[in-house]
Amino acid sequence: MYAAMKSPSARSASFVRWASLGAFLLGVVLLARSVPLDRALGALDVVVRDAGPWGPVVFAGGYALAALLLLPGSVLTLAAGALFGPLLGTAVVSLASTTAAALAFLIARHAARDAVAAVARRRRAFGAIDRAVGEGGWKVVALLRLSPLVPFSLGNYLFGLTRVGFVGYVLASWVAMLPGTFLYVYLGHLGRAGLAAAAGAERARSPAEWALLAAGLVATVAVTVLITRRARAALAEKTEGPVTEDDVARPADEGRRPWRTWSLAAAGFATLAAGLLASCGVVGRWFGPPQVSMEDVYAGEAGTATFDHGLLDGLLAAHVDAETLLVDYQGLRRDAATLDRYLERLAAADLGPLGRDERLALLLNAYNAFTLRLILDHYPVESIRDIPEDRRWKGRTWTLAGQPYTLDELEHEQIRPKFREPRIHFAVNCASIGCPPLRREAYVGARLEEQLEEQTRLVHADPRWFRYDPDRGELHLTRLYDWFEGDFSQVAGSALDFAARYSPALRRDLERGQRPRVRWLEYDWALNEQRRSGS
């Protein structure tokens, strides 16, 4: 057999492959420890949510395309479990993988037969598999699908060269791929639950729930392994001898094709490099809001002009509840004309004569007023994230001082980099329960310092955004500290040091050299609406 004796060059190639695999696994571990995977999943979740009821279809289409391009589908299968849960995730992946298998089969049989046949000739075991499929038909296809000897994406094309019928092939593939699909989907679901727990979700799973999830995982793995072993044994009989993964996956002329080995090495060490960068905090910045360098651009501009925020001040006092600080959007709709008059004033505003505090107050009010109008434009909604992305934070539909802006541009280009003031993150409101609440008054330049300080202390006195348990050494923080850690660090040295300004207990422990474990509080994206009884 091939594995019994190897030439020196083959041994060298084997060493490179094993070293590449080690580098890949180490890189994956570093990435998992350093990259905010929950945020990455959250971004993917937003894409799916933006597609509405077509979300699963969009995901399935991307999955099928990846399979046709011979890209590994395991990561997407795990993501399906995290996004859709075990049952819907299995259904979505099963539909997508079966569709990809059918399309690749037809391409190989009718459109690209010569190219696929050239690949098949370099596979050591394809002749035996071809004979077995010819004799056993769909039964052997099912065994091959159950046993991971033939790579899924490549096998889809190779089966198109065999004598198996199309309908039997599709049905056998669909049924036989279900156990493995469910296993990977379940792993993804379990991983998402773990990420939520690690992030300090408000509603942690009980030990009994974790035990049930673990038992389900063990049972799924056991059944899948049992099915795989039996399929291997049955397949060995059909092909007149054992078929190894090397026999299927390795080309017969590998020794003359070193680029395959070096491609594997490049992938492995590239993953390791990404993991090392992630450990240094570089990759994590690719997710979430952009990093900025905060400067007080207008610090030297005193300014004598003011801007009248009376219209917004009256609306906030009338429609933000004094106790809950939630918004009466139904009542605000009746006063929409007043809000629109305020927006017209913002559009015609002259920012030039405004001093630093007056300008910042106007920008904060503008962001919050635009967000209120955004909700009214799409009301009723359960969450601001129900609004399509191109009309939400990236819609250039707001006019300030004669210039069109998106909400993202206002926050990340006009406010954050031009004012050395991280407290603005407790002042801008994204119309969500998890966001610091709206004040019942507009910000004004003359009282801005007082208002920002009061708003920041309000947030740090509320367990929805800040909790510190000195006895357990645990600090529960709003995700704002995670997303905008760089802003807080530029002013206070670190996010923890900034938070400690508003918690004597935390400040005392930090001064003693005690660093608490940080748990991120769940960010509730439900609409910050004042719910009326009976509504």
**Top mean-pLDDT range of 133-137, 286-290, 441-445:** 441-445
Instruction: Note whether residue 448 is domain-resident.
Output: yes
Q: Which two tokens stand for residue 445?
A: 């330049």
Least confident of 13-22, 77-86, 165-174: 13-22
How large a percentage of the chain has pLDDT more than 90? 37
Do 79 and 215 have their domain in common?
yes
Instruction: Note whether residue 446 is domain-resident.
Output: yes
Residue 124 clears pLDDT 90, i.e. is over it: no
Do 239 and 323 have their domain in common?
no
C-alpha to C-alpha distance for 23 and 65, rounded to whole angstroms: 28
Instruction: Note whether residue 10 is domain-resident.
Output: no
Q: What is the DSSP letter of 522?
A: P
Last residue of a domain, one of 252, 270, 288: 252
pLDDT at residue number 495: 92
Residue 407 has, within 13 A of its CA and on its CB side, a CA count of 23
Residue 348 has, within 13 A of its CA and on its CB side, a CA count of 6
pLDDT at residue number 318: 96
Q: What is the DSSP letter of 408?
A: H
Confidence of residue 14 (pLDDT cuts 50, 70, 90): low
Last residue of a domain, one of 252, 269, 290: 252
**Top mean-pLDDT range of 58-72, 283-297, 385-399, 434-448:** 434-448
Do 236 and 353 have their domain in common?
no
Least confident of 86-100, 123-137, 148-162, 269-283: 123-137
Do 238 and 332 have their domain in common?
no
Instruction: Note whether residue 135 is domain-resident.
Output: yes
Beta-strand ranges (E) seen in 323-464 are: 398-400, 403-405
Beta strand 466-469 with 403-405 is unpaired
Instruction: Note whether residue 302 is domain-resident.
Output: no
Residue range(s) defining the domain that contains residue 101:
34-252
Instruction: Note whether residue 303 is domain-resident.
Output: no
Residue 533 clears pLDDT 60, i.e. is over it: no
Task: Average the pLDDT over 375-403 and give the result.
Answer: 88
Least confident of 89-103, 134-148, 275-289: 275-289
Tens digits of per-residue pLDDT, 209-265? Answer: 445 545 555 554 554 455 455 545 554 555 554 444 444 444 444 444 555 566 667
| Cβ–Cβ < 8 Å for 36, 288 | yes
C-alpha to C-alpha distance for 285 and 198, rounded to whole angstroms: 20
| Cβ–Cβ < 8 Å for 147, 232 | yes
Instruction: Note whether residue 279 is domain-resident.
Output: no
Task: Average the pLDDT over 117-128 and give the result.
Answer: 53
Task: Average the pLDDT over 470-488 and give the result.
Answer: 91
> What total of structural domains would you count in the chain?
2
Instruction: Note whether residue 24 is domain-resident.
Output: no
